[in-house]
Structures are given as C-alpha cells and as structure tokens.
Homo-oligomer: A and B are copies of this chain.
Amino acid sequence: TRPGITMNDCPESAQVHRADFADIREAKIVKGRSINLALSHRGRQALKQVGMEDTIVSKGIPMHSRMIHSLNGTQSPIPYGKKGQVTLLMQRLDTPHSAETYSTTKLNFAHKLLNWSTETGAMTFLRADGAKEEIQADLIVGCDGAFSAIRKQFLRQSRFNFSQTYIPHGYLELTMPPINGEFAMKPNYLHIWPRNTFMMIALPNLDKTFTCTLFMPFDEFENVTTGDQVIEFFQKYFPDTIPLIGADALKRDYFRLPAQAMVSVKCSPYHLSDKCVLMGDAAHAVVPFYGQGMNAGFEDCLVFNEIMDQLNEDFSAVLPEYTRVRVPDDHAIADLAMYNYVEMRSHVNSKWFLFRKYVDNTLHMIMPRTVIPLYTMVTFTRIRYHEAVKRWHWQDKVRHYIVHSSLYKGL
C-alpha cells in the first residue's frame, strides 16, 4: 500500500500550505472557539494506515458513555456502545501537523492562497513578509476548511452544486476548573444537559478542566445581556453547574466572546479537472453534533487511498471515482449531524428514548450482524455512512413493529 493519506501525509515531494499567519503548533488554544475533537473508529483506521494511531490515541481521553443531567440534578449514563467501544476526545492542538515527524513533507505556514489555475495547477500565495510565491502542483488537495479558499474556484464553474446552511443556534464555551486538582465531574463521559430548544454539553480536557458548551438559538442569546441574567438563566436550567463553574467566572466568561455560528456545507463534485480535489471540511463541513467531522475527513483520505490503489494512481480516473463514491457518504453524515442536533437536545432525556436505546441494544445482542444501532454503525464501524442511514431506516421499521407489539403485550 502507498504511504500517504492525510493532509500531512503526502508523497515525499509534497508541500502543505496553511493560511494561518503563524505556525499552529506554536499557537495557543483560542479560548471560547475550541470544540474538542472526537476520534473514533474511522479516524483511527486512517491514522493506523500511516502508523500514527498509537501516538495519537495515547494523547486522547477515552469516553464510553453519555451522562444526562436532568433539571433536578440526577445523572443517568447512556453507554455509546458495547464494552470497549470508546470515542477518544482530542485537544485541537494534539492532532494536526505531526507530519514532519513522520515524513519529509514540508509544511509552509503563513501562506495565504490568492489564486490557482484550473488548467495548469499553478498556485499563487501571499507570504507573511508580503511577498508573492508561485508554485506548480501536480495535484492540489483542498483541505482548507469550511470556508475553503480552494473551493472558490469551483464556484466559478458551471454545474457545481453548493450549499452553506447556518443553523439558528450559536455556541458559547465556558470552562469548569478542577477541584483539588481533580476533575469537577466524572471524566470519561460526555455530559449533556438537554433542554429541548437548547442544551449544554461538557467535555473533559487533559488539564482536568471541562469545556462546557452552551448551544442555543441566537435570539435566545440576545435575551441574556447582564451578569445577573446569566446567573438567573443558569439557576433555572443548569443549577448543578453554577458551583462547579463558579458564579463570578460564569458572569465574566459568558460575555468573553459573542456566540459563534455553525455552518453545514455540502457540495458536489469534489474534483475539478484532474488538478484538484476537496477533502475534509472544505468538501463537507458538518455541525458538531455527531462527533464525526474529523473522522469523516480522515476517512476521505482512506477512501481516496483505496481508489488510488484500484485505479493505479491515474488522477484523471481517480478524481471522478472519488466524487462518485464519497459524495453520498459525506452528504449522509452531514444530514445525520443535523438530525442529532435535534435528537441530542430534545429526545435524549425522555424515557421513550431510553426505551428505544434498550430495544436497539437488545436486538443487537440477539442479532449482532443484522441489527446494529445507528450510533454504533456510524462511530464504531466503517459501514458507509449512506448505507448506515439506509439500514437504520429499515431497522427502524423492525423496531417500530417490535416496540409496538411489546407494548400491546403489556411489556
């Protein structure tokens, strides 16, 4: 098999350019705009293929359950899958840019893309010193995020389908400090406070803090404008968190940054002639509610690599095939993330939801190959995303039948 697949892991002669006007490895975490990264099966398979799985995994915090916080303060765990099926929580700075350690790939920071030619593959960059730099690429891999500069060129072509959809919710991050040097709540859990139209989640960090993220419609954010209103709001909906975050910190940090927007991006095709291909968020930014953003991006690389092997690295055949194979799967995970955005904040706390999970898991135990819970298919297998959705719809019918006949039998 070929050596390279991720953005950092290109053929030996490759160069990686980033627009950030600094080396991200030396940068500090931007407080309030982190959103931790979840690494699960698909992402790990990609890292494994380039020999980086163990190193990366050792820096993650394993999570095996959700922990639901109800209004009265009771906490109920809901496991993600079977024993041993964990999602790893990564810090944003741990994952990227270990490439130079693993290959001779050259990283260029502080290079802003000004333009590139669809015919020749020539790229023009603006450097931090103000000078322009031209380079010639055999293949341009656009991994430059939700607001991709590479993708702008695609928008100028006919028959390029594109959508960007902002959800009505924004997010705001708060920090829950350690207590006596230990985590303030149980670590190894995704803590969730579902409150129907909005929700808060908390995720553990290596420094024993939790990052609490409040997701709420922008117009509801606008109703909370003073420190006292923040406390009143938390008293009403998240009373158990006030002593843990601290009332003073809460009043202060709530206003540190305005609520941040979240966008879902879909497009097709992913390639432009035989010169350029989009991957990761540049091809399919998803809302963060399924923890699959990074995994889908890493799996893009795995799929691309598989097609490169099948088609003898002939770009003119590989690129259209990559579009054909990958677009339906990325669109499916974008839709699932949007679906979970509703599910997480509304259904997750209901008895009905817990009962459905119970039925799912029981069916899975009885027929492990036939019935696999959706979350398990998405997070702990490499079943293609769009096939997972299809199987889920089919299973839903089966489950519906079983649940209802159970109810009639007075289960």
Contacts and interface: CB of A to CB of B under 8 A. Distances in A.
A159 B165 contact: no
Interface of A: 158-166, 218, 261
Contact of A261 (B159, B164, B165, B166): B159
Contact of A164 (B161, B165, B166, B218): B161
Given A159-B218, A162-B162, 14 more contacts: A158-B166, A158-B261, A159-B166, A159-B261, A160-B164, A160-B166, A161-B164, A161-B165, A161-B166, A162-B163, A162-B164, A163-B163, A163-B164, A163-B165
Nearest to A218: B159
A54 B141 CA distance: 57
16 contacts: A158-B166, A158-B261, A159-B166, A159-B218, A159-B261, A160-B164, A160-B166, A161-B164, A161-B165, A161-B166, A162-B162, A162-B163, A162-B164, A163-B163, A163-B164, A163-B165
Number of chain copies forming the complex:
2
Contacts of A218: 159
A127 to B, nearest CB: 23
Contacts of A161: 164-166
Nearest to A168: B159
A378 to B, nearest CB: 25
Nearest to A164: B162
Contacts of A159: 166, 218, 261
A88 to B, nearest CB: 30
A69 to B, nearest CB: 29
Contacts of A165: 161, 163
Nearest to A262: B159
A165 B163 CA distance: 8
A219 to B, nearest CB: 12
Contacts of A160: 164, 166
Contacts of A164: 160-163
A392 to B, nearest CB: 25
5 closest Cβ pairs, A-B complex: A163-B163, A159-B166, A158-B261, A159-B261, A161-B165
Nearest to A156: B147
A160 B162 CA distance: 13
A271 to B, nearest CB: 16
A324 to B, nearest CB: 13
Nearest to A170: B159
